[in-house]
Each structure stands twice: as C-alpha cells, then as structure tokens.
Structure 1
C-alpha cells in the first residue's frame, strides 16, 4: 500500500497536488486530522485500496503534533509512506490570496491578524511537518510544473537518498527548499550572445560556449568535490532528500548547464532528479 500525505502552507498548491493524485487513481481524502490517520489506513486496507492520497494541514492544527509518530508507525508496518510539503514565499502567497479573495484558515481563530501574520504563524505550526517531508517551493511554479514534479516524487525509490539538482534565477528569489545553494553568476554569461540568448543550458550551442571556458569547468569540479565529500554524511544521517540549488541571474543558461552536468555525474550511482524552476512546463 502506498500512502501519499500532502501538507504545506495554505495557498501553496495542495489542492492541485491532491487532484493530480485523484486523477492518477489514488483514493483521496482532504483535511484528515492526523490522529485519525492509523484508523483510516486500516479501514482503507480492509477495503482493498492500494494507493491513497491524504491532505493533512493547518485546518487540523490541534492534531498535527501526532503526525510524526503516526508516520513512523505506518512505516514500521512496511507501508510506503511519502510526505510531500508544499510551501511558497510570503509575497507569492499574499498575491494568491488576493487574487482568489479567500480568507486564510487561521483568520477565523485570529481575527485581528493580517494575512501575512497568519502565514507566519502557519509556518511556525507546520515546521515539524516540513522537517519530515519532501519540500517543494511552489513560489515560481505553474500548476503544470507542480503536477510534473509531483509525478517525479511518486516515482522515487523511498529506500534510497534522492539527490535533487534545481536550477533557478536569483532575480526570481532563492528556492525555499534548497539544502545547498551555489552561485553561478560569476561565470561567462551566454545571455550576452544574441544567438544564445533565446536558448537554455540544455541546448548544445550554450553547452559548447560554457565548456570552452575554464571557469565553468573549474566551478563544476569544485562543486562536485564538495558534494562527494559531504553526501556520505547525509547518507549516515538517514536523510531521504538533499536539494542542491544552482543559481544564475535568470535561471536559463549557466545554472541549467551546471545542474545537468552535476546530475549526470551523480546519476551513475545515486537516485537523482533534475528540476529547472525557470524553464519548467507552463
């Protein structure tokens, strides 16, 4: 039985993720109190369900402290339990609440709080859930990109550490879900070549441009050596995910090239995902 728990900040895309699971044939439950998770799983097992998606979030705040123990108990029974935590920058969430004109769930209990204060309190309450999850920053993601990333998440082998290389543009902000961030803005920039500007780091002319220079190769070698030295410590710490952010100015050329090159090396003996935040599906 595979159980996918979806949590995260209000407005971060949880409904998009849960609807995707439903479309993929998962039996889905929205807003389940964490304390009801063990009984619900037993019931669904008895009914023969093999794939289940459950949303657990701030609407059941009083039961959230029980979630880590519930997840550990289910995993001890040999169940495939995956926890996906969606988050976004406060400015992105404020924009979404403004566009939809929806109230924040915490505003009912804290009537004197602004939406920004509710978001801050929600982050604090959900911190323990985020710590046991695969985190995804949806600040700059379209709904289609989020669906694609969730599908990647579902395909992972949970028994192995997953190394995620994510390119991004600094002008769009740092990714919230990165464990490491490396800055490629000091490298020669293909953007200033008019013929390369519309391309990305996935295109051969851009690859040739960067690999003809000494600095990009030197940075690649240094980042590679750093990660090879420290990833074994994350293995020993039983981490499930390590996200490496690679940034350049716009997130189209240098960061994409470096993320792809590092991913190709580590994919030889590790489980690897590559995500390009600024060139994801629209």
Structure 2
C-alpha cells in the first residue's frame, strides 16, 4: 500500500497537491485530525485500497502532540509511509492569504506574519522527516503538477491525459460532457447508399465509402493535426481528461468512422483512450 501524508505551510498548495493525487487514482482525505491517522490506516489495510493520500496539518490544532505518536503507530503497523512537505516564502504566503481573504489557522489577532513564523517553527521537526520537499512559491498549478509527476510518477506512464472519443447523432443531442464537439455532417453520407444504410462505421464497407472522398482525406489531415497540437497544450495546463465528441446526423456512419480513425491515429501515440459510439444502435 502507498500511504502519503501531505503537510506543510498553510497556503503552500496542499489542496492542489491532494487534487492531483486524486486524479491519479489515490483515495484522498483532506484535513484529517492527526489523532485519527493510525485508525484510518488500520481501516485502509482492511480494505481494497492500495493508494492513499491525506492532508494533515496545523489545522488539527494539537498537531505535534498527536502526529508524531501516530506516525510511530504507522511504523508499528508495518506501514511504509512518505511525507510530502510543501512550503513557500513568507512574502508569498502573505500575498496568497491577502488574495484569498482567508484567515491563517494560527492568526487570532490579525498578525499574519507572526502566525506564519509560529507555524514554520512548529513544522520544523516534521519538515526534517519529509521524504520530499517542494517550494511552491514560484510554481503555477500546472508547474506544481509537473513537479509532482516527476517526483512520484517518473517511472510510470507520464501521459496524464485520458481521452474519451464519442460518436453521436445530432438528432439525439450533443453529449453534455464534451470538451470538443466536431460536426462531420458535411462529409458524404453512406445513409443514402442502399447497401450501406443499415451498416455502421464499424463496417469496412462504410469506412471505405467515407474515406474515398478527397474532402474526407483533406479534413482528416487538418483535424488530426489540430488534435495533435491541442493535446500537449491541454496537458501543460494540467487537464487530466478530455472528451472529444464527433457528430453526424444519426450517429451511425460518418461520426463512427471518424472516431475509429482518430482512435487509430492517437493509439500510435500511446494515449489512454476510451471509445463510445453513443447512438450507433438507435
């Protein structure tokens, strides 16, 4: 079991980090009171969970009295854990709190700088136990995610983007979760060929018909090049899932063929793909 404790300075980006791990398939818990960590770990060991990430920090108030004892109990359970510690400079933390208009957990008198100094002192020993330390001060969200990817997933598939390809018929409505919608109703329609009408874009005869036209070849070249350009840009912005919906009139012929051909194109690039022909049986 992978058990990751995310902690560090308030305002340093722990919630962003937790969201990142959740997108990577971790079971995530935010603001778990330190006194509950070992009990939570015992429950996890009895479950099917294999990847756990939790945030526990100074919001737990009686932080260190409980936390270090809980970490010792994790070791007694034979559970290997890692600590990710996030920090930033005082100036950046002050700016972030002023921008968010939130109160620092230790700030009871409106003296945020003193609260940050106190928190930094309290976290000093825990910082020394951290297996990974990241200064988020100059990192944008996408840059933080890339840093986490390099630290924790560099030996795995670095392609975070899952692509859903959906064929559909406009007569049945556009998929509500689509990020990109492409209309291929301008392509020659196999529906008007009697021998092809009751086949679908999964059949070779229909594919051959759609693909034989110069307009299809020209469109596919331009469309696939556009997709090839866009996907890395979405990844840079930290997007983990992209739904591309391709529609024709009934969702049986042209859209199905185009989704299948786009899948073949993307499969060569080792993307994580899923295909849904939503309206093919309607």
Q: What TM-score do you get using the length of structure 2 for normalisation?
A: 0.51
Distance 2:26 2:145 in 1: 14
* Contact 1:142/1:281 (8 A) holds in 2: no
Which of 95, 107, 112 aligns to 2:109? It is 112
Query: How far has the Cα of 1:45 moved from its partner?
Result: 1.9
Task: Say whether residues 1:132 and 2:129 are aligned partners.
Answer: yes
Query: How far has the Cα of 1:281 moved from its partner?
Result: 8.4
User: Residue in 2 aligned with 1:187?
Assistant: none
Which runs of 5 or more residues in structure 1 are unaligned?
158-279
Task: Say whether residues 1:60 and 2:57 are aligned partners.
Answer: no
Query: Aligned to 1:105, what secondary structure does the other structure show?
Result: coil
Query: How far has the Cα of 1:126 moved from its partner?
Result: 1.3
User: Residue in 2 aligned with 1:142?
Assistant: 140
Deviations 1:72-108 (A, max 9, x none): 442454433110010000001111111111111112x
Which runs of 5 or more residues in structure 2 are unaligned?
156-235, 239-282
Q: Summarize the Cα distance change of 1:152–1:69 in structure 2 as closer, same or farther, 3 Å threshold.
A: farther
Q: CA RMSD in A?
A: 2.2
Of residues 142-151 and 4-13 in structure 1, the stretch that sits farther from structure 2 once superposed is: 142-151
Q: Summarize the Cα distance change of 1:95–1:19 in structure 2 as closer, same or farther, 3 Å threshold.
A: same
Distance 1:21 1:73 in 2: 24
Deviations 1:136-172 (A, max 9, x none): 1111111111112222332489xxxxxxxxxxxxxxx
User: Residue in 2 aligned with 1:6?
Assistant: 6
For residues 16-165 of structure 1, the aligned pairs below 5 Å read 16-107=16-107, 111-133=108-130, 134-155=132-153
* Contact 1:18/1:53 (8 A) holds in 2: yes
Query: Aligned to 1:102, what secondary structure does the other structure show?
Result: coil
Q: Summarize the Cα distance change of 1:132–1:15 in structure 2 as closer, same or farther, 3 Å threshold.
A: same
Distance 1:80 1:54 in 2: 14
Distance 2:73 2:105 in 1: 29
Distance 1:41 1:135 in 2: 23
* Contact 1:68/1:132 (8 A) holds in 2: no
Distance 1:17 1:100 in 2: 18
Query: Aligned to 2:61, what secondary structure does the other structure show?
Result: helix
Distance 2:36 2:100 in 1: 30
* Contact 2:6/2:54 (8 A) holds in 1: yes
Query: Aligned to 2:84, what secondary structure does the other structure show?
Result: strand
* Contact 2:57/2:63 (8 A) holds in 1: no
Distance 1:4 1:119 in 2: 24
Q: What TM-score do you get using the length of structure 1 for normalisation?
A: 0.51
Distance 2:56 2:151 in 1: 18
- Structure with greater Cα Rg: 2
User: Residue in 2 aligned with 1:267?
Assistant: none
Distance 1:131 1:101 in 2: 30
